[in-house]
Amino acid sequence: MDKLRVFYNHPGFIDATAERVRTALEGLPEIARHSSIVIYTAHSIPMSMAESSKYVQQLEESCRLVSSAVGLKGHRLVYQSRSGPPAQPWLEPDILDVLREIKQDNSASGIVIAPVGFVSDHMEVLYDLDTKRRISVRSSNFHGSRWNRGNSSEIREHDSRFDC
């Protein structure tokens, strides 16, 4: 029996993800590119699970490798899809909180949302990154795009405002 290696730092995963980020950044209006930010997302998990695994370290390494390949100076790693009892701590910050913060502070004119912690788009990703995000950042002042994972070649909301 053969065992597949982890993919978080696999050159094929990093190269494909970097190409998607690069394409999404190039799709932003020229004026928004110079003050844009790449926000990587991954599924939130309970802190107790995170503390007993390499989950966060592997995600941080993926983000670092992709950002380096693209030539980015900075990025943010955020989480989505929190569930479970409210008293149970989960990984943060939440994507929606970060988008509200950027909107409130007017700290970026362009945003690329890169779901680095997912290998395919599915209903949870689509709901969190499209439906809930639209409600959260209505009438924002920044341009943005979110690209689909490897199961699609489409860039979502390419070169559009996040003000649906």
Of 94 and 144, the structure prediction assigns the larger pLDDT to 94
pLDDT in tens, 28-48: 888 888 888 999 999 999 999
User: What's the rounded mean pLDDT across residues 37-66?
Assistant: 95
Query: How much is the pLDDT for 78?
Result: 95
Q: Which domains does the chain have, with CATH numbers?
A: 11-161 (3.40.50.1400)
CA angle, residues 4, 75, 87, in degrees to nearest 5? 80
Copy the structure tokens of residue 107: 């700290």
Query: How much is the pLDDT for 5?
Result: 87
pLDDT in tens, 96-153: 889 889 888 888 888 888 888 876 555 666 655 655 555 454 545 556 655 555 544 4
DSSP assignment string, the chain: ---PPP-TT-HHHHHHHHHHHHHHHHHS-HHHHTTEEEEEEEE--BHHHHHTSSHHHHHHHHHHHHHHHHT-S--EEEEE---S-TTS-B---BHHHHHHHHHHHT--SEEEEE-TT-SS--HHHHIIIIIIHHHHTTT-S-EEEEE--TT--PEEEEEEES--
Chain mean pLDDT for the chain: 80
Q: Is the pTM of this model over 0.95?
A: no
